[in-house]
Amino acid sequence: MVLKAGDKFPEGVKFGWAPILDEDPTVCGIPQLYDANKEWAGKKVVIVAVPGAFTPSCSAYHLPPYVQKFDELKSKGVDIVAFIANNDEFVLNGWGKVNRVPKGDDFLMLADNKTFFSENYGWQAGPNKGDRTGRWAMIVEKDGSISYAENEAKLQDVEVSSVEACSLAQGLCSLVPNKTVSQAIRLAADAVVRRKVQLECKKLRKKFNSIQSRA
């Protein structure tokens, strides 16, 4: 069952995790089981799934912006950012280090072993892509409800799962408190489209009036 806005985060969710304890990418701590239900209780969490560590789009356009704008997300009430992929804990630890993921337990590099979470609650990469997680983002609120869950239309795209989308989602959530984030984003997108249409109509009317005046 793919989670959608309004659903509750499921019980019994666990990931693999090797904490980032230092900056040396040649060494790694001991992997452990990460109990998401326990650790995320009462916290707002942004989950970001990527097809794989060290892959082109993930390394160039997806993880680094989240690292750069981590403080901005925190300022908007996000407690934890969790990147997940079907890589082992050692690989994700190394990938996090070379991308300067901060030490601690509020920016996580988690192993979605055998794509269990993505297969059951999110999205996989699709046919002919192997056992890879898809590229998507999900926001879990402090009460355990899902306020945002969006999957990229194309695996190489970084749009609805980008840090900009999730940051915008948080801003819109505070502006439109009675809507889910996904609904708020759609409202904002509709407003932008309406404004563009209005401007185009205004240009056309002006052009038409100009033609009439010369007739």
Structure confidence by residue, pLDDT tens digits, 1-22: 789 988 999 999 999 999 999 8
Domains of the chain in sequence order: 14-214 (3.40.30.10)
* 8 A C-beta contact, residue 3 and residue 36: no
Residue 60: what residue type? A
**Residue corresponding to tokens 């408190």:** 177
Q: How many CB atoms lie within 10 A of CB 71?
A: 10
Nearest by Cα to 129 from 86, 192, 172: 86
Structure confidence by residue, pLDDT tens digits, 158-181: 989 999 888 877 765 554 455 555
* 8 A C-beta contact, residue 159 and residue 185: no
Q: What's the confidence (pLDDT) of residue 193?
A: 45
Where in the sequence numbering do the catalytic residues fall?
58
Q: How many CB atoms lie within 10 A of CB 37?
A: 13
Between CA 109 and CA 107 the distance in angstroms is 7
Structure confidence by residue, pLDDT tens digits, 47-95: 999 999 999 989 999 999 999 999 999 988 999 999 999 999 999 999 9
